[in-house]
Amino acid sequence: MDNRDIQEAAVALREQWDLQLPELVSEEQILAQLTRRVMVLLERGPESFFQLMYRLDISEKKLNAVLNEEDVAQRIAHLIYDRQMQKIQSRQANRKSSEPYDPELSW
């Protein structure tokens, strides 16, 4: 992952999770803020939390695997961050593959 992907993830997560992140942010800063946000969601109740995980397309299998471990909020934050990075990489791959080749445009 390059810094551009991290910044793109930060923008998306800032909007989706109402995170207070600086313009240039590190992966560690994103994960720290996400961890705090996940803790708040877990305290509010499991129903809305699981609905949100479903909407984010977080694997139920992965989620269930981390729910019984220590630092559950941190592990869930990693799942959310990893899923966001997968979406970014998928968009980039599809963007590149969907551009038709036009020989007149190449130099």
Q: What angle do CA 53, 57, 59 make, to 5 degrees?
A: 85
Q: What is the pLDDT of residue 104?
A: 66
Asked, for residue 35, whether it belongs to a domain, the answer is: yes
pLDDT at 29 (0 to 100): 93
Residue 70 counted as domain residue: yes
Is 104 inside any structural domain? no
Q: Residues 52, 66: contact at Cβ < 8 Å?
A: no
Residue 98 counted as domain residue? no
pLDDT number for residue 83: 94
The predicted structure's pLDDT at residue 106: 58
A 10 A CB-CB count for 53 gives 20
> Model confidence at 26, in pLDDT bands (50, 70, 90)?
very high
d(CA 24, CA 11): 10
Tally the domains of the chain: 1
**Does 39 fall in a domain?**
yes
* 94 part of a folded domain: no
Structure tokens at 43: 């305290």
CA atoms of 104 and 107, how far apart (whole Å) = 8
Residue 41 counted as domain residue = yes
Domain that holds residue 22: 3-87
In a domain, 48, yes or no: yes
Residue 75: the pLDDT is 96
- Rounded to whole angstroms, the Cα distance separating 103 from 76 reads 46
